[in-house]
């Protein structure tokens, strides 16, 4: 086969893979392009490609030294009225050129404008993580998301295959993982999690779950590879392993089922199990990267386990953080000996991480900065920008989510490389990733609603140059892609009807207490300090989420107790404040609120006492409570507000004490 024939065949194959029609085209040029992610450079020329034999008039050249970014996937696309010429750094670059060509083609008219594009990805890791443990999704669903990822030039599908809610991958050596640990009592995660958390044998009436066979996964790996997407499997350790430790309780510290979430690090049997599982995982997934979890380990049992304590003494480990580090390093060395690279959540830095490991920074941008400055390759995936289990609009208009508020604009604003890193440290940031955790996402249509269009924004952050971002232009392009994907059967969020942030948060409020001193009789929690000591009188209401930097959180002794000093005695006619409830993260409305007033700060007159029964439900709830005179005033300098939690405990959040 000659070179020209080979490239012509490649062009035809790429056209099919990209979904590009070779139907007759009509002349014309769109005013603006709708390409997502935005190319590095794009210049429209006059005219349009009007020939029906697109693949016959296309030339694809592989030019290895074309890349300016050093990241695979670079290409140059030139479309004239008579030809389509692709110069790509490698075959992935040619594939991405086809995705761009697909986006250029007007779906209604078939027009492809004449254009010159030079493009290259910013980051090598452009990922999306799908949680299939909390709720099991079909292979067909995963293929649909792979198709969408390819369209967006994403190249890593991270599958969260194991967690307490269910083990989802066939392992021959340990059949109980799929005949027992893959099935549970309760189709909805929340019913199971807040219930008895029981597992059931496969085939039991009412058992919910499922798993992927090795054959299914190998076929999925191939399907993804054809679209230049690598599937990275995750096997959780040492924690989030309740399902394993109930099926095989001998791997826990006490050997009791339904008691532990952390593997026993003092037992050699633990490492035998993990290495055997990973060996079978590596036989299924050829990925260079294998994710080993590493997050949210309680480590409580280790402090009391004689075998763990003996391991710590034998290895000279100072604490349980170093014991986790021992496990991570040991498993990492096992993977490296098999030619693979370990990936873990940022907690693997606790106690010291292997410099060869890739760190996924999920808790904050600062954790990613710490990982990169310490020499670890880092994938930025902070919850504030990359967790798609949150609401993307007014919670009352959407299905139940974990909580929070992450609109499209916030995802688009994410800058993965902190400004404080040196050039060498910045080079350690190898990519970005969006994550869809599915505790509150039980169905495939719901999952797609959470993903799109937010994944469009993450794709542009991952691919396009940091300079030149324009949210309004991006939103225009996102609306166009939403319409296309909806027409193709995807369940896409209705961006055109987006409400935006909570109305109260959109403008400051003037009142008597604005800028006044607040005395904290009980402390706020430092994690949710908002504006610190001035947060409750800064004139700013909070938005849809307690994590937006405006809501202040109280959990100490389950109460809020503050006094506002108005500076002088004044006539006061009302005091009001907002509370919110999001049950998933244990944020509840207060069971009691007491509002009092004083002229001297010593003797307080109770103005109003509000009590309510706190009910756990799925809604995000906002309540404004307070005291109103109906026209009559009281003379006061000090306003005291007390609120206590109910039987569920948890957090109390408020945003502003408005005094009029």
**DSSP states along 469-501:** --HHHHHHHHHHHHHHHHHTT-----GGG---S
Answer whether residue 14 shows pLDDT above 90: no
Distance CA 151, CA 480 (A): 14
| Domains of the chain, residue spans | 3-119, 125-493, 503-659
Q: What is the pLDDT of residue 20?
A: 57
Answer whether residue 344 shows pLDDT above 90: yes
- How many alpha carbons lie under 13 Å from residue 53 in its C-beta half-sphere? 5
Token representation of residue 471: 């949210």
Answer whether residue 630 shows pLDDT above 80: no
Question: pLDDT of 444-480, one tens digit each?
Answer: 999 999 999 999 999 999 999 999 999 999 999 999 9
Distance CA 144, CA 650 (A): 39
Distance CA 513, CA 658 (A): 7
Q: What is the pLDDT of residue 621?
A: 95
Q: What band does 28 get if pLDDT is binned at 50, 70 and 90? A: very low
> Stretch 354-374: mean pLDDT, rounded?
95
Answer whether residue 501 shows pLDDT above 90: yes
Beta bridge partners of 129: 158, 435
Token representation of residue 495: 């961006």
| Residue 162 and residue 239 in contact, taking contact as beta carbons nearer than 8 Å | no
Closest CA to 210 of 202, 218, 221: 202
Answer whether residue 27 shows pLDDT above 90: no
Q: What is the pLDDT of residue 541?
A: 98
> Stretch 304-313: mean pLDDT, rounded?
98
Distance CA 526, CA 418 (A): 23
Q: What band does 25 get if pLDDT is binned at 50, 70 and 90? A: very low
Closest CA to 528 of 545, 551, 544: 551
Cα distance between the two ends of the chain: 84
DSSP label at residue 523 = P
Q: What is the pLDDT of residue 357?
A: 95
Q: Which residues contact 324 (CB under 8 A, 6 or more apart)?
A: 238, 265, 294, 297, 299, 347, 348, 350, 351
Q: What is the pLDDT of residue 10?
A: 59
Catalytic residue, candidates 90, 131, 147, 163? 163
Distance CA 231, CA 289 (A): 9
Catalytic residue, candidates 215, 283, 296, 606? 296
Q: What is the pLDDT of residue 17?
A: 53
Distance CA 497, CA 490 (A): 17
Tell the CATH superfamily of the 3-119 domain: Chitobiase/beta-hexosaminidase domain 2-like (3.30.379.10)
Distance CA 409, CA 118 (A): 26
Alpha-helical (H) ranges within 350-453 are: 365-373, 383-386, 408-412, 423-426, 444-451
Q: What is the pLDDT of residue 12?
A: 54
Distance CA 391, CA 585 (A): 14
Distances 211 to 135, 138, 145, 171, 202 between C-alpha atoms, Å? 11, 9, 18, 10, 11
For 386, counting Cβ atoms within 10 Å of its Cβ (0-12 exposed, 13-18 middle, 19+ buried), the class is: buried
Q: What is the pLDDT of residue 109?
A: 76
Percent of the chain predicted with pLDDT > 90: 88
Q: What is the pLDDT of residue 1?
A: 40
Q: What band does 29 get if pLDDT is binned at 50, 70 and 90? A: very low
Calculate the CA 533 to chain-centre distance. Answer: 31
Q: What band does 558 get if pLDDT is binned at 50, 70 and 90? A: low
Q: What residue ranges in 310-463 does DSSP mark as E strands?
A: 341-345, 358-361, 378-380, 390-391, 403-405, 429-436
Distance CA 436, CA 449 (A): 11
Answer whether residue 9 shows pLDDT above 60: no
Q: What is the pLDDT of residue 107?
A: 75
Q: What is the pLDDT of residue 111?
A: 83
Q: What is the pLDDT of residue 629?
A: 80
Tell the CATH superfamily of the 125-493 domain: Glycosidases (3.20.20.80)
Q: Is 296 a catalytic residue?
A: yes
Distances 478 to 21, 86, 315, 474, 495 between C-alpha atoms, Å? 22, 25, 54, 6, 8
Neighbours of 616 (CB within 10 A): 15
Q: Is the dihedral of CA 180, 182, 185, 191 positive or negative?
A: positive
| Residue 631 and residue 573 in contact, taking contact as beta carbons nearer than 8 Å | yes
**Higher model confidence: residue 64 or residue 491?**
491
Distance CA 129, CA 380 (A): 13
Q: What is the pLDDT of residue 387?
A: 98
Q: What is the pLDDT of residue 52?
A: 80
Which 3 state secondary structure label does DSSP give 200? coil
Biggest CA pair distance of the chain: 95
Q: What is the Cα gyration radius of the chain?
A: 28
Catalytic residue, candidates 135, 158, 240, 541? 240
Element housing 183 (H / E): strand 183-185
Q: What is the pLDDT of residue 15?
A: 59
CATH of region 503-659: 2.60.120.260
Q: What is the mean pLDDT of the chain?
A: 93
DSSP label at residue 651 = B
Q: What is the pLDDT of residue 182?
A: 98
- Asked if domains 3-119 and 125-493 share a fold, the reply is no
């Amino acid at each position: 086969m000659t070179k020209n024939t080979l490239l012509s065949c490649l062009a035809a194959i790429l056209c099919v893979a990209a979904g590009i029609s070779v139907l007759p085209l009509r002349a014309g040029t769109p005013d603006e392009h709708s390409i997502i992610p935005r190319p590095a450079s794009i210049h429209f020329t006059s005219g349009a490609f009007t020939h029906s034999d697109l693949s016959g008039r296309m030339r694809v050249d592989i030019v290895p030294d074309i890349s300016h970014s050093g990241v695979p996937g670079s290409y140059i696309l030139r479309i004239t009225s008579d030809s389509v010429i692709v110069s790509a750094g490698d075959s992935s670059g040619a594939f991405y050129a086809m995705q761009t060509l697909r986006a250029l083609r007007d779906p209604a008219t078939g027009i492809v404008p004449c254009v010159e594009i030079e493009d290259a990805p910013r980051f090598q890791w452009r990922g999306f993580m799908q949680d299939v443990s909390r709720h099991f999704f079909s292979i067909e669903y995963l293929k649909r998301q792979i198709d969408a990822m390819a369209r967006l030039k994403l190249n890593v599908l991270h599958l969260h295959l194991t967690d307490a809610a269910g083990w989802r991958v066939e392992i021959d050596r340990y059949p109980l993982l799929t005949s027992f640990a893959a099935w549970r009592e309760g189709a909805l995660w929340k019913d199971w999690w807040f219930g008895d958390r029981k597992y059931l044998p496969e085939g039991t009436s009412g058992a919910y779950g499922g798993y992927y066979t090795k054959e299914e996964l190998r076929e999925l790996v191939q399907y993804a590879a054809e679209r230049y997407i690598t599937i990275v499997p995750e096997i959780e350790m040492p924690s989030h392993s309740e399902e394993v430790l109930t099926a095989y309780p001998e791997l826990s510290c006490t050997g009791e089922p339904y008691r532990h979430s952390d593997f026993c690090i003092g037992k050699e049997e633990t490492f035998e199990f993990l290495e055997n599982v990973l060996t079978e995982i590596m036989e299924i997934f050829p990925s260079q990267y294998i994710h080993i979890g590493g997050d949210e380990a309680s480590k409580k049992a280790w402090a009391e386990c004689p075998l763990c304590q003996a391991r710590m003494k034998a290895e000279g480990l100072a604490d349980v953080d170093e014991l986790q580090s021992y496990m991570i390093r040991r498993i990492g060395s096992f993977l490296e000996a098999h030619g693979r690279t370990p990936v873990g959540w940022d907690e693997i830095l606790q106690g010291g991480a292997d410099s060869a490991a890739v760190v996924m920074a999920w808790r904050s941008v600062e954790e990613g900065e710490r990982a990169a400055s310490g020499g670890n390759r880092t994938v930025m995936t902070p919850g504030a920008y990359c967790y798609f289990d949150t609401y993307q609009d007014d919670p009352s208009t959407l299905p139940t989510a974990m909580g929070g508020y992450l609109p499209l604009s916030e995802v688009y604003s994410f800058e993965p490389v902190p400004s404080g890193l040196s050039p060498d440290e910045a080079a350690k940031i190898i990519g970005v990733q969006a994550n869809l955790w599915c505790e509150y996402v039980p169905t495939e249509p719901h999952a797609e609603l959470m993903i799109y269009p937010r994944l469009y924004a993450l794709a542009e952050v991952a691919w396009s140059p940091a300079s030149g971002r324009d949210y309004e232009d991006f939103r225009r392009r996102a609306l166009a892609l939403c319409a296309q994907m909806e027409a193709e059967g995807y369940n896409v969020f209705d961006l055109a009807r987006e409400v935006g942030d909570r109305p109260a948060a959109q403008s400051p409020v003037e009142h008597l207490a604005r800028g006044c001193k607040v005395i904290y009789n009980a402390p706020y929690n430092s994690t949710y300090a908002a504006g610190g000591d001035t947060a409750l009188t800064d004139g700013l209401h909070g938005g849809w989420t307690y994590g937006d930097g405006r809501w202040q959180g109280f959990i100490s002794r389950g109460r809020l107790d503050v006094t506002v000093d108005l500076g002088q005695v004044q006539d006061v006619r009302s005091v009001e404040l907002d509370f919110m409830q999001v049950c998933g993260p244990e944020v509840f409305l207060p069971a009691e609120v007491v509002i009092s007033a004083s002229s001297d700060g010593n003797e307080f007159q109770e103005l109003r006492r509000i009590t309510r029964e706190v009910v756990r439900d799925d809604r995000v709830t906002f309540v404004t409570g307070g005291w109103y005179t109906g026209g009559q005033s009281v003379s006061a300098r000090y306003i005291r507000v007390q609120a206590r939690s109910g039987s569920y405990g948890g957090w109390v959040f408020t945003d502003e004490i408005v005094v009029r």
